Every structure is written in C-alpha cells, then in structure tokens.
C-alpha cells in the first residue's frame, strides 16, 4: 500500500469513524444548553411568583403587626440593646453543647453577613436603581421586630437533643408551641430550609467568591484556566467539611474571631472610600431617597417601575438580613442564654449591623465612587470592587477578594449549621454527616453556575422557607408579649435596688 493510500484510508477512518461521536457530543451540548435555559426560565417564573405582591405585602404587614404589638421595641430599646450586647462581649465560653450568646450572634451574623451585603446590594442597585436601598432599610426596620420575636420563641421552646446540645428554631417552636396538629408545618419548614441551605447558603456564596477571585486574577493579567472555578469550589468544600464536622463549639470559636475581623476591615476601608469621595455623599443619598419613589428620574428611565424597585429592595434585603426566614433563631437557640428576651435583643443588633451598617456602606461605596452602573441588568461585587480600585489602587483587588471570600466562607459555615439542624429534626442526629458531605460538595456546583440565575434561585428558596416560619411567629406572638413584660419587671427591680443603694428615688419610668 502506498503512503498516499494509507493517508487516504486514515482520513476516511477519522472522517467517518469519529464524526458520529463528534455529532453525539455536539448534540449533547445543545441538549444541555436547552435544559439550562428551561431550568432558568422555570426559576425566573417561580421567583416572580414567590416574590410577587402577596409575599411583599405579607412581610410588611407581619413586620408592622409585630412592631405594633411590641410597641416599637426595636426603636425604644435600641440603645439598651446596644449597651447590653457590647457589655457582654467578653463572656466566657459556654459549656459542652452550648455556645455563648456572642458566639451565637456571630454564627447568625456569619450567615447574614455574606456576599449579599456586597454583591446583593450591587445587584439591587443595578436592577432596581438606588431607591432599592431605601426599601431595604424599611424592610430592615420592621425586620428587627420580626427577628426579635423569632429568637425569643426559639429560646423559649428549645430542647436538648440526643447529644445533649440545645436545639431550637422554627421547627421546634412549631412542634412545642403550636402542638402536634401542626407538626406537618415544622416538617415543611425543614424541607424548605434544607433546599434553601443548599441554594442560598452555599451555591450563591461560592458563585460570587469564585467570580471575584477570577476577576481579580484577570485584573493582574493572570490566565484563568478553564477549571479554576471548579478547583476553588473543591477547596471550599474541603474547608467547609473540616470545620462543620468539628462540632458546634469548633464552629462558634472560629466565627467569634472571624466575623468581627472581616466586618471591621470592610467597614474601615469602606468608610475611607466615602471620606475620599465625601463631596459625592449628598448626591448619593439624594438618589436613594428620590429613586425610592421615582426610579426613572435617577436611572435615566431604564428602571421605570416603583414596584420593581420596591420588590428588588425587599427581596435582596431579606436575603441579606434573613429577618422572617427563621434561620438565625436556629443559632440563637444553641446559646447558653437564661432569658429569651435577653437573647432576642441580639436579633435587633444583627439586622442593624447587617443592613444599616454593611449594606448601606456597600451602597455608598458604589454610588459615591462614581462607577458606571448598567441599570436594568444584574451586577455583582465588581461594582464595589471598582470603588476600592479608584481609592486604594489595584492592590486593593487582592484585599477585596480576600474580604469577600471570608464573607462567603463564613456564610457557608453558618448555613451549614442551619442545614444540619433541619436535617436532624427530620432524620435524627445520627445521619448528619452524610448531609454535611452533600452540602460541602454543592460548593463545586455553585462555583460554575451563571450569576443572575444563582441569585434568583437563592431569593426564591428564601421566600419559600419564610412562609411556614411567619405563620408560626404570628400565631405564637401572644407568647412573646408576657416574656417582654417579665423582662421589664426584672430590669425594673434590678434598677430599683441600684437606686436604693445610691439613695435615689426610682419610679421605673426609664425602662
């Protein structure tokens, strides 16, 4: 056989032998793309249903209802709550199976202070305009009251599990507060909670972290290999499993150090950006208040719907501070608190730090630094990152990627703890390790998904788990009011004793 005939036969083999395989792979890729589009359309449609007018109305009505029943406790006792919490930061650690109150609030803050405080705020501004921040504030104001009621109920109706750990949260105050006829609602919350843990708690956080790290690498002209995001997801999966398998005290000990450091670093650097761009602060604040009611005036007509601005602000705000979702009470139930109301004060502190401090700071960084915002399209943490670049230079990209990675990692850990408690309620404490392995592995899935789809999925799942929790909170709100009254009497008696020692007449009006 001549060389030309040999080559001809080889070409024939490659053409007609591998062509079918190539066509199969090509067809498979088309099918997968069509499947992704279909799933994306389904998620978008379900998101619009969950975060439609009924859900927004329910959140506001319940927040207002609980605020009125407590006589604006979150406003009247805000100063007392801050003094009380800051005065108890140095308490010794809890006994085995317990967290200190500060470790509990750090675990709750670890789940709330996540990428939603940076990427979520950026997306809210891009989709709903600067006015979305105003509605985020409004929802947070009433969310303080909602979270206070949730935590009081969680501590009031908690119980010990087979390992001797305190366990609580919506599923337990439904079970122990509403009775056996409502046990199905507790199970429904846990099912929705597990889905939300896998979606909101892990996938959204890892996705944002992977995107920011890759963008930072490109900023320094480093080649981003095709599997970089998958590798980042795998590393985070290993770190997550390592910490969560260490137990509740291991988690609390890590987060009580990690949360204050990462939040403090972000606050200090963020304030520096606002100081440098101080002349733009009045305009930024004006755009928030003006855009809340006339978004088209601020966004050049791109965002022309007040409803879109309101929905975006409330949805992203709820995603960030978790008020009404029932997640934070799971962490607070593990605290060594003796009084439910005392622990409930930490809920007010959480929402304040999460929304009024960190989310507001992220919004002002974006609006004051003058970065270009493409209104009407979703955006991520890159908007805030550009603000850091303008003030601190390119080196800040590495720092920003580090801070955001800490935010994401702490949220993954906090939500992993919530998922374990929901899983334990349904299947018992002996089967938690398999769940943790599944939870950690979802980090690899989240690292490679599309940004806008990930956030819609997270918001949708958060809305679903809020429904059974809010039903229980409203029905059990009557239980919280006597607890508030008893706490007032305790505080008044204590102050009377102090006043008596100081020979001062005390009439109890200060509390």
Higher pLDDT, 99 or 130: 130
Lowest mean pLDDT among 59-73, 306-320, 321-335: 306-320
Lowest mean pLDDT among 12-21, 335-344, 469-478: 12-21
Check pLDDT > 60 for residue 170.
Answer: yes
- Is residue 224 a contact partner of residue 430, using CB atoms and an 8 Å limit? no
Query: What's the pLDDT score for residue 11?
Result: 47
Check pLDDT > 80 for residue 93.
Answer: no
Half-sphere exposure of 231 (CA within 13 A, CB side): 7
CATH level 3 topology of 32-501: Amino acid/polyamine transporter I (1.20.1740)
Query: What's the pLDDT score for residue 81?
Result: 81
- Is residue 335 a contact partner of residue 173, using CB atoms and an 8 Å limit? no
Check pLDDT > 70 for residue 491.
Answer: no
Query: What's the pLDDT score for residue 384?
Result: 79
- Cα separation, 373 vs 308, whole angstroms: 17
Torsion-angle region of residue 268: left (phi > 0), alpha (psi -120 to 50) or beta? alpha
- Cα separation, 157 vs 171, whole angstroms: 10
- Cα separation, 58 vs 289, whole angstroms: 24
Work out the average pLDDT over 247-261: 65
Work out the average pLDDT over 39-62: 75
Name the residue among 201, 197, 199, 193 with its Cα closest to residue 115.
201
**pTM greater than 0.95 (yes/no):** no
- For the beta carbon of residue 462, count every other beta carbon within 10 angstroms: 26
Query: What's the pLDDT score for residue 36?
Result: 59
Torsion-angle region of residue 169: left (phi > 0), alpha (psi -120 to 50) or beta? left
Name the residue among 170, 152, 176, 167 with its Cα closest to residue 99.
167
Check pLDDT > 50 for residue 505.
Answer: no
Half-sphere exposure of 99 (CA within 13 A, CB side): 29
Check pLDDT > 50 for residue 488.
Answer: yes
Higher pLDDT, 113 or 352: 352
Q: What is the rounded (10 degree) CA torsion for 459, 465, 466, 471? A: 160
For the chain, the straight-line distance linking the first and the last C-alpha, in angstroms and rounded, comes to 103
- Is residue 219 a contact partner of residue 200, using CB atoms and an 8 Å limit? no
Check pLDDT > 60 for residue 379.
Answer: yes
What length does the chain have?
511
Burial 237-246 (b: 16+ CB within 10 A, else e): beebbebbee
Residue 383 binned pLDDT confidence (cut-offs 50, 70, 90)? confident
Residue 285 binned pLDDT confidence (cut-offs 50, 70, 90)? very high
Check pLDDT > 90 for residue 395.
Answer: no
Name the residue among 319, 253, 251, 339 with its Cα closest to residue 462.
319
Lowest mean pLDDT among 213-217, 426-430, 495-499: 495-499
- For the beta carbon of residue 403, count every other beta carbon within 10 angstroms: 22
Query: What's the pLDDT score for residue 336?
Result: 79
What is the token pair recorded at 259?
């949360």
What is the token pair recorded at 127?
């989709």
Name the residue among 462, 459, 422 with its Cα closest to residue 438.
422
Check pLDDT > 70 for residue 26.
Answer: no
How big is the CA angle at 425 (ends 419 and 430), to the nearest 5 degrees? 85
- Cα separation, 340 vs 482, whole angstroms: 11
Average pLDDT, the chain: 78
Which residues, in sequence order, are bridge partners of residue 166? 160
Check pLDDT > 70 for residue 511.
Answer: no
- Cα separation, 502 vs 496, whole angstroms: 10
- Is residue 110 a contact partner of residue 258, using CB atoms and an 8 Å limit? yes
What's the Cα-to-Cα distance from 268 to each of 194, 272, 288, 478, rounded to whole Å? Answer: 35, 6, 22, 42
For residue 174, give the DSSP letter: I
One DSSP character per residue, 342-400 reads HHHHHHHHHHIIIIIIIIHHHHHHHHHTT----TTS---THHHHHHHHHHH-TTHHHHH
- Is residue 472 a contact partner of residue 178, using CB atoms and an 8 Å limit? yes
Query: Cα 364 vs. chain centroid, distance in angstroms?
Result: 20
What is the token pair recorded at 98?
């317990």
Query: What's the pLDDT score for residue 423?
Result: 92
Q: What is the pLDDT of residues 145-169, one digit of tens each?
A: 999 999 999 999 999 888 788 899 9
How big is the CA angle at 138 (ends 132 and 141), to the nearest 5 degrees? 140
Lowest mean pLDDT among 213-222, 269-278, 419-428, 459-468: 213-222
Query: What's the pLDDT score for residue 28?
Result: 53
Query: What's the pLDDT score for residue 174?
Result: 95
Lowest mean pLDDT among 89-98, 168-177, 300-309: 89-98
Question: What residue segments make up the domains of the chain, in order of their start?
Answer: 32-501
Query: What's the pLDDT score for residue 454?
Result: 67
- Is residue 415 a contact partner of residue 201, using CB atoms and an 8 Å limit? yes
One DSSP character per residue, 91-153 reads PPPP-TT-B-HHHHHHHHHHHHSSGGGTHHHHHHHHHH-THHHHHHHHHHHHHHHHHHHHHHH
């Amino acid at each position: 056989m001549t060389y030309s005939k040999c080559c001809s036969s080889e070409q024939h083999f490659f053409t007609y032998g591998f062509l079918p395989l190539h066509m199969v792979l090509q067809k498979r890729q088309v099918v997968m793309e069509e499947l992704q589009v279909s799933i994306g359309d389904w998620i978008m449609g379900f998101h619009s249903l969950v975060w439609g007018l009924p859900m927004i109305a329910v959140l506001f009505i319940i927040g207002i209802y609980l605020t009125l029943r407590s006589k604006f406790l979150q406003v009247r006792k805000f100063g007392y709550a801050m003094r009380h919490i800051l005065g108890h930061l140095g308490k010794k650690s809890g006994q085995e199976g317990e967290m200190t109150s500060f470790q509990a609030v750090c675990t709750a803050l670890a789940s709330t202070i996540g990428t939603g405080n940076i990427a979520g705020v950026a997306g809210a501004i891009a989709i709903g305009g600067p006015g979305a921040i105003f509605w985020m504030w409004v929802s947070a104001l009433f969310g303080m009251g909602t979270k206070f009621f949730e935590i009081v109920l969680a501590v009031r109706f908690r119980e010990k599990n087979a390992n001797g750990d305190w366990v609580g949260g919506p599923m337990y105050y439904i079970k122990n507060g509403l009775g056996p006829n409502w046990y199905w609602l507790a199970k429904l919350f846990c099912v929705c909670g597990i889905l939300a843990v896998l979606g909101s708690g892990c996938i959204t956080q890892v996705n944002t972290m992977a995107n920011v790290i890759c963008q930072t690498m490109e900023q320094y002209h480093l080649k981003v290999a095709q599997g970089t995001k998958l590798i980042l997801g795998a590393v985070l999966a290993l770190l997550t499993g390592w910490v969560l398998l260490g137990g509740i005290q291991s988690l609390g000990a890590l987060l009580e150090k990690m949360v204050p450091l990462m939040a403090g670093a972000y606050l200090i650097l963020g304030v520096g950006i606002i100081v440098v761009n101080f002349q733009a602060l009045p305009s930024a604040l004006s755009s928030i208040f003006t855009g809340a009611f006339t978004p088209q005036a601020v966004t050049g007509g791109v965002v022309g719907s007040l409803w879109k601005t309101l929905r975006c602000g409330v949805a992203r705000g709820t995603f960030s501070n978790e008020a009404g979702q029932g997640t934070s009470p799971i962490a607070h139930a593990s605290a060594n608190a003796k009084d439910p109301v005392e622990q409930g004060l930490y809920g007010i502190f959480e929402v304040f730090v999460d929304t009024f401090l960190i989310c507001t700071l992220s919004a002002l960084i974006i609006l004051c630094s003058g970065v270009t915002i493409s209104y009407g399209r979703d955006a991520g943490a890159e908007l805030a990152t550009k603000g850091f670049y303008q003030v601190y230079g390119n080196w800040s990209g590495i720092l920003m990627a580090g801070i955001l990675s800490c935010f994401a990692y702490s949220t993954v850990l906090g939500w992993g703890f919530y998922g374990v408690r929901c899983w334990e309620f349904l299947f018992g404490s002996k089967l938690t390790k398999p769940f943790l392995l599944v939870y950690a592995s979802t980090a690899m899935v989240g690292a490679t998904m599309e940004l806008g789809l990930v956030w819609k999925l997270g918001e949708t799942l958060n809305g679903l788990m809020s429904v059974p929790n809010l039903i229980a909170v409203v029905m059990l709100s009557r239980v919280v009011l006597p607890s508030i009254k008893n706490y007032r009497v305790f505080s008044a008696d204590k102050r009377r004793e102090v006043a008596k020692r100081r020979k001062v007449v005390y009439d109890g009006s200060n509390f």
